[in-house]
Chains A and B, each alone.
Chain A
Amino acid sequence: MAQDINNAQNEQRIERSVFSIQWVAFSTIVIKEVRRFMRIWQQTLLPPAITMTLYFIIFGNLIGSRIGKMDGVDYMSFIVPGLIMMSVITNSYGNVASSFFGNKFQRSLEELMVSPVYPSVILAGYVMGGVARGVMVGLIVTLLSLYFTDLQLHNLPVVIVVTFLSAILFALGGFINAIFANKFDDISIIPTFIITPLTYLGGVFYSISLLPEFWQNVSMLNPILYMVNSFRYGILGVSDVSISAAISMLIVFIALLSSISIWLLKRGTGMRS
């Protein structure tokens, strides 16, 4: 009996020790990632701030004043949530894709590969780094938008949940992109040809109710539409889609991409010869 207790205590001690090691490793990766994008803020934080300010001026102020209302709100107020969400997802994706691929390219990823860090912890660390940048850029864009419009806050929990889930999902996408990328060009293909078009067609600048029924149905297949609209719901209280469906879809996709990422990491795809 005493032996059993001792064994159980030893096992517990080992378990705790493994957990604490993995926790420190996770924090280390996150800190490293945050330090990286803060160090090169001119490339990571400044460009989205400038781009979004131009969107606010051109689409919101100049063109928006002629458009009038969209879904019952000013056009400027209508596009702000979409632009914030666009910043969050593109930066979450871009951070993980460029950082992980950069580490692969410089071979500094080998530091992690020789270490006892679990693949799931490596993934979580990089994803959290991407989320940190996405959320930080989102906050910067939100603050800038306050100069152009008065933002309401219809449902804060929805805003927080949708922001984090969207950032996690796109950070996972960036991670998978980086795993398969062999050169720097490969990490810009998906953002250029898939994410950007889907974002523009995802209801950032218009309500899908303006589209003919066929294109409304086609738009419903665009996952970014759900993120933009549920975020817009959190801010303005208006949405083209069901919020619970959007959040459920985000969770399912996160689970799917996480499983794929961990499987790829364990196999060493794109990393081990």
Chain B
Amino acid sequence: MTALSIQGLEKVYGNGFKALKGIDLTVKRGDFFALLGPNGAGKSTTLGIVSSLVQKTSGTVSIMGHDLVKDTFAAKQCLGVVPQEFNFNQFEKVYDIIITQAGYYGLTAKQVASHAETLLRALDLWDKRNESARMLSGGMKRRLMIARALIHKPQILILDEPTAGVDIELRRSMWEFMKKLNEEGTTIILTTHYLEEAEQLCKNIAIINNGEIVTNTSVKALLGQLKTETFVLDVDGDLEGLPELKDYQIRHVDNEHLEVVVDKGQGLNEVFSALTEAGIQVLSMRTKANRLEELFVDLVQDDNEVANKQTKEA
């Protein structure tokens, strides 16, 4: 059963800019789905159309089986939206913002009192419930938008850059919250620039670039496409003595760091042996970039090259 179905979605802005070029996208119920892409790729336009904040040019959007145009009322009831930018009345109190949003879904303050408390406690906002929203920190404001989006218990939650500008500790606690929510049955669709976030949380991923879906697959399958991985080694010793290893691309960053590019399935034992023989000690090791990040860059670059070639040919 699909939670979100997008068919042939096109968006042409007034200035003629084609933000979406007829995309198709399906998100299954219960999925934790990431829509990734560089800035201006069409992510926010797609989610904007699904959230009824942006007018589509053509195509169809169906939410939990309800067409967004023909059955707007039912479709909108299934959706909770956490936008990228703060979009609540800064002068209202935290609790009032939540209760007002519930009212828009036909739920009275009395009906949602218990759920509002649960949400605000879970998101660490209960103590701030009587404060004006403008007094909250950036992270709190972001959590307030999550609480607001969940007050009517939507079946699908859309999060546009939910952890942008949030510190690491808070980001991780928000990840836990979202994971739990997904485990309880809520379908989550998010966009993020933190690819680690998508890799950690999501089951399926679509990458959008220049208004087109470049890839739409599971995180596992996508990571399976990874051809190489770059490791950074912090070392102690004389790197001049390191013999050349023909199966590896090794770059000397400086006297204390080496970058080793490893093909898929290729081990690092040979590198470690060579380093040990040369009397070089490996102090620590890390991947240069997140695995998904490497793939993302490759896919987007390839797509841009194809697009540039087509433009030149035209």
Chain A residues engaging chain B, CB cutoff 8 angstroms: 17-18, 20-25, 27-29, 31-32, 35, 39, 103, 106-108, 110-118, 268, 272-273
Contacts and interface: CB of A to CB of B under 8 A. Distances in A.
A116 B73 contact: yes
Interface stretch (B99-107, B163-171, B292-300): B99-107
B89 A116 contact: no
A103 B74 CA distance: 25
Given A27-B103, A106-B89, A108-B87, 13 more contacts: A23-B106, A24-B108, A25-B104, A25-B105, A28-B104, A31-B103, A107-B87, A110-B53, A110-B87, A113-B53, A116-B72, A117-B104, A272-B53
Interface of B: 13, 48, 51-55, 72-74, 76-77, 79, 81, 83, 85-91, 96, 100-101, 103-108, 148
A112 B104 contact: yes
Nearest to A17: B106
Interface SS of chain B: helix, strand, loop or mixed? loop
B103 A111 contact: no
Of B55, B88, B103, the most chain A CB neighbours within 10 A belong to B103
Contact of A111 (B74, B87, B90): B87
B81 A108 contact: no
Given A28-B103, A272-B54, A273-B13, A114 B76 contact: yes
Interface SS of chain A: helix, strand, loop or mixed? helix
Nearest to B106: A21
A32 B100 contact: yes
Contacts of A22: 106
Given A108-B89, A110-B87, A111-B101, A116 B76 contact: yes
Contacts, number: 81
B105 A115 contact: yes
Contacts of A21: 105-106
Given A272-B53, A272-B54, A273-B54, A115 B87 contact: no
Nearest to A108: B89
Contacts of B51: 110, 113-114
A106 B72 contact: no
A34 to B, nearest CB: 12
Contacts of B79: 114
Contacts of B101: 111, 115
Nearest to B80: A114
Of B72, B79, B87, B148, the most chain A CB neighbours within 10 A belong to B87
